[in-house]
Structure 1
Amino acid sequence: MTVLPAAAHPPAPRSRPGPGLSSLKIVLTGPFGVGKTTLVGAVSEIAPVTTEARLSAAAVEDTTHVPAKTTTTVAMDFGRLSVDGVTVYVYGMPGQDRFWFMWDALTLGAAGVIVVADTRRLADSFRHVDYVEHARLPFVVAVNQFPGARTYPVADLREALALGPEVPIVDIDARDRDCVRRLLIALIEHTLRTRSGILAPHTAAVDQHDPTFQPKEHP
């Protein structure tokens, strides 16, 4: 397990997104095994910091849809990158309910949140969407497309997750750097619109759910 040294832990940015912004904190949430650690590793320009521990025989995690997964995040993931001159700090939260007490601390100072979802088990994302909505943080939903998983129209996903028309839904492959960068840009733009008070109803141009999207084959 790799633990982030205290000196390397950047302070949570306190300023709201806007002109002259130099840094931004973004948080990833979502259920166990949905791809948060992979996403951080794909996009970080530094060696990502992880707190992965091996699953024990007594582990309570449901690995039905991720049978090859042998580790779980027990504190957080951390990565850093630059987007259009803004330093973006990315924190991945542990997804299990038993780690809920850490969520408030990790979202402190966050400008926005990405809720990562898996269409094979959308119900597992309900708690994470509810948490972010209760925290009144701008967020987007990233649908990590696993091979063999069904794809659904945006309207069906929006209804299933009870999302308002202003919440962007983005198809991603969590291992693809360019794909993840586009996701982060979508969140930053959504955050700017939200906090500027110019949030408009969703349109097809904002929903980035591409019916031709084909995820890479997982090894």
Structure 2
Amino acid sequence: MSVDRHSVKLVVAGGLGAGKTTFVGGVSEIPPLTTEEVMTQAGAAVDDVTGVDQKNHTTVALDFGRITIAPDVVLYLFGTPGQDRFWFMWDELTQGAIGAIVLVDTRRLNTSFAAVDYFERRETSFVVAVNRFYGECPYTELEIRAALKLSDAVPLVWCDARDRATTKQALIHLVRHAMSSLTKSE
């Protein structure tokens, strides 16, 4: 007997160096497709790596992964590039997605503003996932919400993009939030 499968498209977005590729790769049940390239001197003039100076590779198109959450439900994850010069791809990558995770690096909070704005303007369900690099975050939830000007309706969760359990929890929060938003609009 075959099982009818339902696929769900989700987006993982955020600024340069926020951990999107790590997030998608860490939770994917298949080897992720990545389009990482070496950062070159030519990009130094346009890619702000302040705070992530050790970064030497960057996504230039997308990351892709898959996770089965039930026998009949598969999540397809699309990670966006973080640099301003690749934002033209976001419309294609987000088309058909039920929601997004905006991955936030509190060392570079300002790189998250554009992603939050993108999903707010398009009225796309999203959650903010604070990537706790090295298990720490110097800010409280209230401070992060205030800095990002998040409404109380936007869930804020904590994760470590390298940790499968916390990334799965962030995805669960997103799916629940997106589903509740869909049922409210019907």
Q: TM-score, normalised by structure 2?
A: 0.91
> 1:37-116, aligned counterparts within 5 Å?
37-59=21-43, 60-85=46-71, 86-116=73-103
Bigger relative contact order (CA 8 A; separation at least 6): 2
Structure 1 stretches of 4+ with a deviation exceeding 4 A read none
The yes-or-no answer on 1:30 pairing with 2:17 is: no
Q: Distance in 2 between matches of 1:161 and 1:62?
A: 19
Question: Which residue among 130, 148, 154 is the counterpart of 1:167?
Answer: 154
CA contact (8 A) 1:143 1:171 kept: yes
Q: Distance in 2 between matches of 1:89 and 1:147?
A: 27
Q: Tell me the residue number matched to 1:195.
A: 182
CA contact (8 A) 1:93 1:106 kept: yes
**C-alpha displacement at 1:83, in angstroms?**
1.1
Q: Distance in 2 between matches of 1:135 and 1:177?
A: 29
> By percentage of residues, which structure has more strand?
2
**C-alpha displacement at 1:149, in angstroms?**
5.7
Q: Tell me the residue number matched to 1:6.
A: none
User: Secondary structure, in 3 states, of the residue corresponding to 1:80?
Assistant: strand
Q: TM-score, normalised by structure 1?
A: 0.78
CA contact (8 A) 2:66 2:77 kept: yes
**Aligned-pair identity (%):** 50
Residue by residue over 1:81-133, the C-alpha shift from the partner in whole angstroms, topping out at 9 and shown as x without a partner, is 11133100000000111111111000000000000111112111111100011
- Count of aligned pairs: 179
Distance 1:104 1:52, change over 3 A: same
> By percentage of residues, which structure has more helix?
2
CA contact (8 A) 2:135 2:160 kept: no
Q: Distance in 2 between matches of 1:166 and 1:148?
A: 26
**C-alpha displacement at 1:154, in angstroms?**
1.3
CA contact (8 A) 1:119 1:149 kept: no
